[in-house]
Structure 1
C-alpha cells in the first residue's frame, strides 16, 4: 500500500503565509488583501465601538483604546496561525507515518 504524501504547501494555514490553494502567483495578492482587511477592519470596528462608548460616557480616550485593540486583534488574526504552522507540519508528518 502506497503512502500518501502531502506537500509542504498543503500545511500552510495562515493568510499571512500565503496559505491558499489558488494558482501560483495569485495567492500573494490574496494573502496581502486578507491581512490588510483584518487589520483595517479591526481598527475601524473597534474605533467605532470606542467612539460609541466615548459618547455614552462623555470621555475622549476610549476611541484610542478601541483603535489599538482593533490593531492588536487584526495582527493576531493575521499572523498568529503562521507561528502555529510548525505544529501543523509535525501533525501532518505524524499522520503520514501512521498511514
Structure 2
C-alpha cells in the first residue's frame, strides 16, 4: 500500500511536507495561505460585484439603499461559496481525515 505522506517522492520533490489546508493540494507548501486568499477573494469579489449591481439598480430606480443590500448579499454569498468549496473548515485535512486533536506522537519531549 502506498504511504499517503510520501507524495513528494512521487512528484519529484526532495522533501516531505505535512498536511495542507483544506481544499489545497498537498504539493503546495503555502496551503493555508492559498486557502485564506481564496476565501478573501470570494468575499471581496462578491462584495464588489453585488455592490456594483446594487449601484446600477440604485441609479436606475432612484434609490440609495440597494447598494448596501448588494454588498451584504455579496459578502454572504462569498462566504457561502468558500464554505461549499471546503475552504473554511479547519478540522479537516485535504484527504478528508479529521485533524489530529490529541497529544503528539513524539511523547512528552516538549513538556516542562
TM-score, structure 1 as length reference = 0.63
Number of equivalenced pairs: 76
Ranked by relative contact order (alpha carbons within 8 Å, sequence separation 6 or more), the top structure is 1
User: Is 1:25 the counterpart of 2:32 in the alignment?
Assistant: no
* Residue matched to 1:51: 55
Match of 1:63 among 49, 67, 81: 67
Check the 8 A contact 2:23/2:85 in 1, yes or no: no
CA distance in 2, matches of 1:24, 1:70: 29
Q: Which has the higher helix share?
A: 1
CA distance in 2, matches of 1:80, 1:21: 17
In structure 1, list runs of 5 or more residues that go unmatched: 8-16, 90-99
Partner deviation per Cα, 1:45-74 (whole Å, 9 max, x = no partner): 000000000000000000011000001100
> Which structure has the larger Rg over C-alpha atoms?
2
* Residue matched to 1:36: 40
In structure 2, list runs of 5 or more residues that go unmatched: 5-20, 97-112
Q: Which SS does the other structure have where 2:63 is aligned?
A: coil
Query: Cα RMSD over matched residues?
Result: 2.8
Q: Which runs of 4+ in 1 moved over 2 A?
A: 22-25, 80-83
